[in-house]
Amino acid sequence: MTADHTVEVVLTGELDIASAEDALRRVAEAERAAPSLLVIDLSRLTFVDSSGVRVVLVADDHARAAGRRLAIRLGRGPALRVFTALGLVDRFEVLPARDGPAPDRA
């Protein structure tokens, strides 16, 4: 595995209490690959609540404990609004949203 191994998890639709466990499972699967950088793309979400924010906070805790990086894509929609309202944008490495089709999902 190279030092710059990146895995990206693209979440779509709604990220709330009903979908958070599935999102956590997908992130955990991505973490098993031990990437140097894990990217969680939230830019395609149509809704995100505190359960969705928790997914990112848990992933951040795991990345820090493993000595790896976590970055997020917020886009311009609901995820950006929620993370901004909670004052969390500066806590994370924020990457620009991708234009065009979603990359391969983890």
Q: Where are the beta strands (DSSP E) in 16-87?
A: 37-48, 69-73
- Report the pLDDT value the prediction gives residue 3, as an integer from 0 to 100: 59
47: closest CA among 86, 72, 78, 82?
78
Domains of the chain, by residue range, sit at 6-95
Query: 8: burial class by Cβ within 10 Å (0-12, 13-18, 19+)?
Result: buried
Q: Does the 6-95 domain belong in CATH 3.30.750.24?
A: yes
Are residues 75 and 39 in contact, defined by beta-carbon separation less than 8 angstroms? no
- What are 57's strand-pairing partners? none
pTM for the full predicted model: 0.89
Q: What is the pLDDT of residues 41-56, one digit of tens each?
A: 999 999 999 999 999 9
